[in-house]
Amino acid sequence: MKVNVVDISKNKVKEMELPSHFNEILRPDLIKRSVLSMQSKKRQPYGAMPEAGKRSSAKLSRRRRDFKGSYGFGISRVPRKILSGKGSRWNWVGAFAPGTVGGRRAHPPKADKKFEKKINKKEGKKAMRSAIAATMNKEAVKQRGHLIPEDYPFILDGKFESLDKTKAVKEILGKLGFEAELKRVEVKKIRAGKGKLRGRKYKTKKGPLIIVSSESSIIKSAKNIPGVDVIEVKKLNIEALAPGTVPGRASLWTKEAIEKLGKENLFM
């Protein structure tokens, strides 16, 4: 598969043959499993204290002649602790059992629960290659909701990596035909429900992903553009390529990043 290489003014420089990664069949099922596996590793364990609700002495004898026993009082067999007493009469209050005030929970969250979802190494690599191939599939990118130019896909010249001003990056993205896409991702949506009270009030869309060959100035300069992410090709991950488990993110590869992907056989 050959793709045009364009400069920052969108003039065609040459054509480039893509590595074998881009010939992979689209596998949404594998991509979804791989993204969920990655997200599961970020979950923080949580749980109740093992002794919560069990720290009160609630042993009550049911035998006939035991001192302070509850035999013959016609009360249910719930674990109880002594609340008060007068003469030979004792007053108890339910404790320890799940149905009582201050009692333990029947099935509390356990801190030792394992949230990690595993995926085979070969399946994970295949999912990565499938997600990489989907970035050059025009139909898959459109289906994901991105507003892309008619001549998509194309590869960017190496000069794009050296841009060190946010304003310049925005202007060039507009020239490349992503002006409508940048406007689309600027829109913030207020989340419905309790989540808005818990530090995640706004929902934002994902825009273009810029893939560079090495650590360069564009990583900082494109940081403040809403929806736009920049990532090194060797640090590429499945969640960046398929946010929300949906493959086909609009991606701008630089020529050097494509060369590095093929030369070093990454994710093979």
Domain ranges across the chain = 2-43+116-263, 53-114
pLDDT of residue 154 exceeding 90, the answer is yes
Q: Is-above-0.75 flag for pTM?
A: yes
Q: Assess contact for 86 and 76: CB atoms under 8 A.
A: no
Domain 2-43+116-263 falls under CATH 3.40.1370.10: yes
Q: Rounded to an integer, what distance in angstroms lies between the CA atom of residue 136 and that of residue 251? A: 8
* Mean of per-residue pLDDT scores for the chain: 93
C-beta of residue 154 within 8 angstroms of C-beta of residue 262: no
CB atoms within 10 A of CB 109: 10
What is the C-alpha to C-alpha distance for residues 264 and 259, in angstroms, rounded to an integer? Answer: 8
Q: Kindly tell me if the per-residue pLDDT of 57 is higher than 90.
A: no
Percent of the chain predicted with pLDDT > 70: 100
What ranges in 74-178 are assigned the alpha helix state H? 121-134, 138-143, 166-173
